[in-house]
Amino acid sequence: MTETKHNVATSRQRLEGAAVVPLALSLVQLSGDLGVLDEIAPFVRGAWEHLQVVPEPVAASLRDRLARELDRIAAGGAPALPDPAPEVVQRMMTTAVGEPVHAEYIRMLLEHMHLEAGTAEPVAPIQPAGAKAPLSAIIIGAGASGLCAAIRLGEQGVPYTVFEKNEHLGGTWFENRYPGCAVDTPNHFYQFSFEPNNDWPNYFSRQPSIRAYLEKCAHKYGVLPHIRFGREVDSAIYDEERKVWRVTARDRDGGVESVEANALICAVGQLNRPMVPSIPGLADFGGEILHTGSWPEAADVSGKRVALVGTGASAVQVGPAIVDQVKSLHVMQRSGAWVVRRPGIDKAVGDHKKWALDHVPYYAAWYRFQLFWAFGDGLFEALKIDPDWNGGSESISAHNAQLREAMLRHVKRELEGREDLLEKVIPTYPPFGKRVLGDAGWYKMLRREHVHLVTTGIERIEASGLRLKDGSLVEVDTLLFATGFQAGRMLWPMNIRGRNGISIRDAWGDDNPRAYLGITAPDFPNLFILYGPNTNLGHGGSAIFLAECQVRYTLSLLQSMRESGAREVEVRREVHDHYNEVIDEKLRKLAWSHPSVTTWYKNSSGRIVTNQPWRLVEYWELTRTASLTDYHLA
């Protein structure tokens, strides 16, 4: 009896550090008491933890009951609701986020959260033992998408080779190692659904932690022996007669390696080639030039006079991270960005929260669900342009205007008393016209005495600094470009040639990539693109979630090839063209197409080539399994 009380007391103490609402949902499943939902519903005002204000007496009662349930389970008891009925799940989800969760989401969320046994559909191995004419694959890139493809191919028995241009895996999480580099999606959502990590050190973890997670996955699933590190792909040529891709890669010493396979999976993504603006005189600069997308490990800005060029996602991280090291920091701003309060952005995950994630049944799944909703489709309505709304360059709908006011309140609080800064930083475009960024100290940095926000344009670069358009000179020792990537030049500079020798540049030009579902393209049989054209998420969500969708779709096509005996699969041109007409029309109705928005999402002719117009649930449904009527099989 004493031991039981001790266990209950210990569990009860540890539950103090865990979020109340997912604890309550765990209690529902363990106890079967649906009345718990009525207890917490009045106090849930949103999916984010800070929007849930459950009174302490209610929270204490929930924790007391859950501690007793945990003791019952530890003694051999069983959960009362291990597989709730769909209508119960829907009610639980709606309660968890404080707004209606429609039925269309249930299956996707159950699968992603692993809440219900048997939600993942069993798939026969693509490569059964002793198969005739076995399939094989080549993956280009060992970032998150490439690792996801490798893991799934390995599970399905498909031989594969991965070419990675760097000496280490991680892709963008290896190359982007600038000070302050971190994920801007909640980490317990930004992870593989099949490999949840309950030991993230922060709610928005830094680059080393994310890279370590990817390395852990590669080790666990046996991917490392398949990776050819330090080999950059020069060309991939499709042999129509033999129906194979021949990929040629070079190492840093000039050595050449060629490999053939049936399927080619390009997992280089959109953000792998840094973009440096074409500013006159750049070659004349006498100091050090850095870019956040290719940060040297030995780089040191201590005591330097630094010009930070750009105010986007990497800038708002690197600026606050180096501000205490530099002698001076000039922030060169072309346009302001929406930098908003993001709870927990610089907060460590407590030991009690980690304990709950590991030891409380269903807690981790419900916690991930809340993050999924808060950072996913819950934001999508704010992207839609209301044609009857007259918000000018400030907003695109009533909902968008409400969010703008909330964002403005944060900026004004942070810059109170600095009207000079406030006038400069408020964006001249609606919220979500560009990615909304989390504030990890950006505005506090701008207030520092040795920090100067410069909005005058750069005329040219000279040996000692930046000559501005008003004739003044900003003298600096270091140019730090936080100017993003050449996102529109997808798959560049590789020479990829498909049917009849057509190159991907012939098909796409320099900056107009198109693909069906962002994955397949006509004239390029057996080519599958991950994080390809029009698959970027501009409002939230997780790139890893999309990678899983795209890999699942690719595997369904490979499965169809195995079952039919086909050696070639190619999307029908009419299907591809119609899809792109549809998404172009949808994109014209979203924030990124607003006349006030200038963004890297658009190509030189103004077409949006990076972002997708779909809600997460829509893209998940579109990529659940391939429809063979969309393809030629031969």
Give per-residue pLDDT as tens, 137-183. 999 999 999 999 999 999 999 999 999 999 999 999 999 999 999 99
- pLDDT for 127 equals 58
CA distance 387 to 397: 8
Please count the other Cβ atoms lying within 10 Å of the Cβ belonging to residue 280: 12
End-to-end CA distance of the chain: 70
- pLDDT for 286 equals 95
- pLDDT for 478 equals 97
97: confidence class by pLDDT, cuts 50, 70, 90: very high
Q: Of 77, 82, 74, give the one whose Cα is nearest residue 10.
A: 74
- For residues 83 and 29, the answer to whether their CB atoms sit within 8 Å is no
| pLDDT above 90 for 131 | no
Looking at 455-584, which runs of residues are DSSP E strands? Answer: 458-462, 465-468, 473-475, 478-481, 495-497, 527-529, 569-571
**Positive or negative torsion for Cα 521, 522, 523, 524:** positive
Please state the rounded mean pLDDT for residues 574-600.
Answer: 95
The secondary structure element, H or E, covering residue 517 is none
Give the single-character DSSP code of 313: T
Residues in Cβ contact with 100 at an 8 Å cutoff, skipping those fewer than 6 apart: 94
Give per-residue pLDDT as tens, 274-303. 888 889 999 999 999 999 999 988 899 999
Q: How would you class 279 by CB atoms within 10 Å of its CB: exposed for 0-12, middle for 13-18, buried for 19 or more?
A: middle
CA 218 to chain centre: 19
- For residues 271 and 144, the answer to whether their CB atoms sit within 8 Å is no
Tokens coding 253: 């010493």
| pLDDT above 90 for 61 | yes
6: confidence class by pLDDT, cuts 50, 70, 90: very low
Q: Could you give the percent of the chain with pLDDT greater than 70?
A: 96
Give per-residue pLDDT as tens, 384-403. 999 999 999 999 999 999 99
CA 453 to chain centre: 29
- For residues 32 and 81, the answer to whether their CB atoms sit within 8 Å is yes
129: confidence class by pLDDT, cuts 50, 70, 90: very low
2: confidence class by pLDDT, cuts 50, 70, 90: very low
| pLDDT above 90 for 132 | no
The secondary structure element, H or E, covering residue 358 is helix 351-359
Give per-residue pLDDT as tens, 457-496. 999 999 999 999 999 999 999 999 999 888 788 999 999 9
The whole-chain average pLDDT of the chain stands at: 91
| pLDDT above 50 for 238 | yes
| Preceding omega of 387 cis (within 30 degrees of 0) | no
- pLDDT for 350 equals 92
- pLDDT for 243 equals 96
| pLDDT above 70 for 118 | no
* Domains defined along the chain, listed by start: 2-121+361-377 (no CATH), 137-273+487-633 (3.50.50.60), 282-345+398-481 (3.50.50.60)
351-359 and 2-14 helices, crossing angle to 10° = 120
- For residues 62 and 69, the answer to whether their CB atoms sit within 8 Å is no
